[in-house]
Amino acid sequence: MSSSSSFIALAKRCAPSLLARGHAFAPAALSHRAALTTRSRPTQSEALPAMPPAIEDEPLSPPTFLQSVNHFFTRAASLTDIEPGLMDVIRACNSVVQFRFPLRRDDGSVEVLTGYRAQHSTHVLPTKGGIRYAPDVNLQEVKALAALMTYKCALVEVPFGGAKGGVCIDRRNYSTEELERVTRRFTHELHARNLIGSGKDVPAPDYGTGPQEMSWIRDTFSQLNPGHMFTAGCVTGKPVGHGGIRGRQSATGLGVFYAIRTMLDQPNILKQVGLSSPGIQGKTFVIQGFGNVGYWTAKFVEEDGGKIVAIGERDGIVYDREKGISIPALKDHLMGNNGSVENFTNEDSPTVRVIPDTDLICGIECDVFVPAALESVIHGDNADMVKAKIIAEAANGPVTADADEILNERGGIAIIPDLLANSMGVMCSYVEWSKNMTGMRLGRLTKRFEESHGRHLVDVLESNGINLSKQQKNNVIAGADEETHVRSGLEDTMIAACEQVVDIAKEKNCSLRDAAYVKALESIAGHYSRAGNWP
């Protein structure tokens, strides 16, 4: 049976798997793909419930992003004791809005654009999720991303529900003035539908948007709500001078780095993938995508002693196994060559190659592969090419459901799932939102006190004959500024989440992805159980 038809067979049995308690699940130790595709038809006594409304479409080949998310949800649900009706509530998308609005172009013409906003779960408020500007934004995509955001927030204990939005445009075809008009009108449309506000729904940057668009959103919302005390909290990812927070730009990539580093310190993970030594030092890395997340991940990995042997970009792969890719050199080259890797010399390395076929990125041998750009990079047709020992999903949905089944069945590989690996973007957004709600910069009340305490400690040490170097004195005296607070919070959160996921995976004999979903689902179910069902 092909991987595609195998996935279809699996999905037909697994999609409605919020089974009644008497239903038999395949043991967690077995491959779900193998167990479910060979399972016999249910008997009358264990008839499956009707397909829940959260899944509208028959499984496709390859699976869509939404189908993959629902499949992962269902697979993890089989490992919990959560009541099936409650599981239906958790999975269903609470609301999704599609609307159209006009844009006056610079040449005077009018273009009608399509926008979306999905709120997957309102079990806690506000909901939270990015806004992307891309020509292929669609209803299914924003629903999948909103669901993933719900599970991501629950996993790392950020008190937001999941949301996502977007506008169908290719921003390269619009002037700065046109993008401002698009953003302000999109904000107006959200406001008219009660879909934005510091206690309702808080957007953030995503693919095709950044701090400038978030600044326009805040300004538009402020003008629509004069006198509102917490307008800064209506959106995150803003420039520092307009209510943003230091450390936001590197947060997601730094989180990916923390996730990889933590997993490489777990003895059972090292044993599973066949690595003999812990830590990033000396490990080989391949990174697909050198945008914001890919760049910062690569930068922190390189600084910690990892060797990046290949980086894939839109027009090719730069490959240098002997020397390793110089991250500063590649950044400078891309900035000076309109984002093209063509003619990259890697600091005049004689062993560097530029490979035009970007599809080959998955087949490069390495210890850690980091897909940091696109969805569905690894799918059923190329999963067998993967030669990495660990996949760290810096992008959302880079491994499809059928590919995930193939890789799990093959064994010897660990996948750090997207809802864990790239979750520090929303964690940093939570810190920014909290700052906006209090109006207080992190470290403002403590930095000088900590420095004074450090000076006193240095004086005590030196009065007792212990002399410190200048650098040592500076390290002891330094008080934590805002970015230090942010990085400390991201590191603590990621380490705790990774260790919890590893423990669950060991307890239930399941993959890291299943374990991450189990923790998220049990957290959300616990909230519903405590809050009750009202009205």
469 annotated as belonging to a binding site for a ligand: no
Domain harbouring 162, CATH code: 3.40.50.10860
Split into its structural domains, the chain has a count of: 2
435 annotated as belonging to a binding site for a ligand: no
Residue 149 maps to a domain: yes
Among 378, 396, 411, give the residue marking a domain's end. 411
> Can you give the C-alpha Rg of the chain in angstroms?
24
How far is Cα of residue 40 from the mean position of the Cα atoms in its chain?
37
pLDDT of 533 reads 78
Query: Which pair of tokens denotes residue 95?
Result: 């609301």
Residue 77: CB partners within 8 Å, gap ≥ 6? Answer: 17, 18, 87, 521
Together in a domain, 193 and 279: no
Taking the C-alpha atoms of residue 17 and residue 49, their distance in angstroms, rounded to an integer, is 8
Residue 348: CB partners within 8 Å, gap ≥ 6? Answer: none
SS3 of residue 106 by DSSP: coil
**Dihedral of the CA atoms 34, 36, 39, 42 (nearest 10)?**
180
Together in a domain, 363 and 231: no
Are residues 32 and 14 in contact, defined by beta-carbon separation less than 8 angstroms? yes
Taking the C-alpha atoms of residue 178 and residue 507, their distance in angstroms, rounded to an integer, is 53
Could you say which DSSP state residue 124 is in? S
Together in a domain, 369 and 281: yes
CB contact burial 152-174 (16+ within 10 A = b; e otherwise): bbbbbebebbbbbbbbbbebeeb
Burial class of residue 41, CB neighbours in 10 A (0-12, 13-18, 19+):
exposed
From the list 164, 283, 307, 435, the catalytic residue is: 164
Residue 4 maps to a domain: no
pLDDT, tens only, 277-295: 999 999 999 999 999 999 9
pLDDT of 4 reads 44
Instruction: Tell me the C-alpha to C-alpha distance, in Å, between residue 18 and each of 48, 52, 83, 513.
Output: 9, 9, 8, 18
Together in a domain, 205 and 322: no
Are residues 515 and 272 in contact, defined by beta-carbon separation less than 8 angstroms? no
pLDDT, tens only, 177-229: 999 999 999 999 999 999 999 999 999 999 999 999 999 999 999 999 998 88
E strands, 66-183, where? Answer: 95-104, 110-119, 127-133, 161-167
Domain harbouring 362, CATH code: 3.40.50.720
Among 411, 444, 475, give the residue marking a domain's end. 411
For the sheet containing 388-392, what is the strand order? 353-355, 316-319, 307-313, 284-288, 366-371, 388-392, 414-416
Together in a domain, 73 and 199: yes
Among 367, 391, 411, give the residue marking a domain's end. 411
Residue 38 maps to a domain: no
Taking the C-alpha atoms of residue 10 and residue 404, their distance in angstroms, rounded to an integer, is 13
For the sheet containing 201-205, what is the strand order? 95-104, 110-119, 161-167, 127-133, 201-205
Together in a domain, 222 and 292: no
Could you say which DSSP state residue 399 is in? B
Together in a domain, 229 and 171: yes
pLDDT in tens, the chain (535 residues): 444 444 444 444 444 333 333 333 333 333 344 333 333 333 333 333 333 333 344 444 678 999 999 999 999 999 999 999 999 999 999 999 999 999 999 999 999 999 999 999 999 999 999 999 999 999 999 999 999 999 999 999 999 999 999 999 999 999 999 999 999 999 999 999 999 999 999 999 999 999 999 999 999 999 999 988 899 999 999 999 999 999 999 999 999 999 999 999 999 999 999 999 999 999 999 999 999 999 999 999 999 999 999 999 999 999 999 999 999 999 999 999 999 999 999 999 999 999 999 999 999 999 999 999 989 999 999 999 999 999 999 999 999 999 999 999 999 999 999 999 999 999 999 999 999 999 998 888 889 989 999 999 999 999 999 999 999 999 999 989 999 999 999 999 999 999 999 999 999 999 999 999 999 999 999 999 999 877 7
Are residues 500 and 485 in contact, defined by beta-carbon separation less than 8 angstroms? no
Percent helix / strand / coil, the chain, rounded to 5: 45, 15, 40
| 164 given a catalytic annotation | yes
252 annotated as belonging to a binding site for a ligand: yes
Residue 58 maps to a domain: no
Are residues 17 and 77 in contact, defined by beta-carbon separation less than 8 angstroms? yes
- pLDDT exceeding 70 applies to what percent of the chain? 89
Provide the domain limits for residue 170: 65-242
pLDDT of 229 reads 86
For residue 535, is the peptide bond before it cis, meaning its omega torsion is within 30 degrees of 0?
yes
Are residues 97 and 166 in contact, defined by beta-carbon separation less than 8 angstroms? no
Query: Which pair of tokens denotes residue 101?
Result: 């609005």
Residue 430 maps to a domain: no
Residue 280 maps to a domain: yes
292 annotated as belonging to a binding site for a ligand: yes
Query: Which pair of tokens denotes residue 130?
Result: 């990015």
- β-pair type (307-313, 316-319): antiparallel
